[in-house]
Structure 1
Amino acid sequence: MWPGPVGGAEAGAWLRAAARAEVAQGIDAVYQMVADQVEARGPACWASGRCCDFGRSGHALYVTGLEAALAALRWVPGRGAGGVAGGSAAGPGPMVALGSAVELAAQRGRCAFQEGNLCGARAVRPLGCRVYFCDRGAQGWQRDLSERAMAMIRGVHDRHGVAYRYGEWNALLGAVVAQRGAELVIRRGAGG
């Protein structure tokens, strides 16, 4: 199991909630609002990979448990480390591999989905990755947009009775991936 403060019951609750269409649609609506705002402002992304190399850049990525669960559910194995939205890992093997990648990335101070200088999970990335740009001209408005979007994500948690936890990306992703892998093993063992 992934070491850290998140238990299997909490991670399991996030996974079950993220699998509900109305919850996922609520998060997706926030992500779309952010995409529209970012497109309207046109910040520069230099594809330097610095934003994903937390240790080198000196910053951390924080997400909600629901965002981590949604990323884990939508990640598709076989498309690099990150995959794309719209699918799910069919068995426990890919989740075990992703869990190992997350643990190694955390030890190295990076994101498990970073492939060279690019995001290997662009379609499933959390809010912080959608709002943050190295472009210094974006720093004023991205802070305001981030706060507004995070309040909206908090609202999704509240409206659907989902426990809210805001924590470091690798820790929360690792917890939900470990729980997802365990659930898949149990389901397979039960013949489902």
Structure 2
Amino acid sequence: MLTGCLSIENLVDSILQEQKVLQDAREVTQLPDEATNQSTNSVSRDEATKLLTNVRLQAMHIHNRCRAWRFDVEKVAKATRSEISDSDERLTYIAHAMDNEADRMNTQLVFMKLSYFRTALSEAWKPYKKEFEDVGTEAIRACAEIRNVHRNMARAIRMHINHNPVEYSLNISTDEMMECLKKSDNFFNSIGV
């Protein structure tokens, strides 16, 4: 029986619950639909400003939450196995669930990009095209950050699963893992996803 004080399951559950609250707000993912449903021929300056401001605030909130979640990923990566109270089986399940959530977010990002592109080309949004594209980029980056947190958490969790040393001789150290996470985040930020 493991006696560690860090429960990765509880940590991941709180991240997923908070993410669900963010998704329920739906401003970021629903902007294109809301934008095209408000008016087919034209969008007033007030409507555009209100909608774009709400999305920008939501994207900033997601960015701030992801910054906090990265500290959780770092906490998991730097923990020793004895500090973690979850079993290997549970850790394997959680890592797999985080990968699945990252894959789901990736699919959502593809559809978001298409929706934002379609709306940016619409007649109603032509006067606000630049603003819409800027906010759309922020929203897509915010959702990509969530995806990256999930992927990085899965990697950090897998570091703590007890492996047969013969089969897994390529395990990396905590410092190497942290360097990998930084490079991954930097790469995805540099290409805007």
TM-score normalized with structure 2 length: 0.29
Bigger helix share = 2
TM-score (norm 1): 0.29
Larger proportion of strand: 1
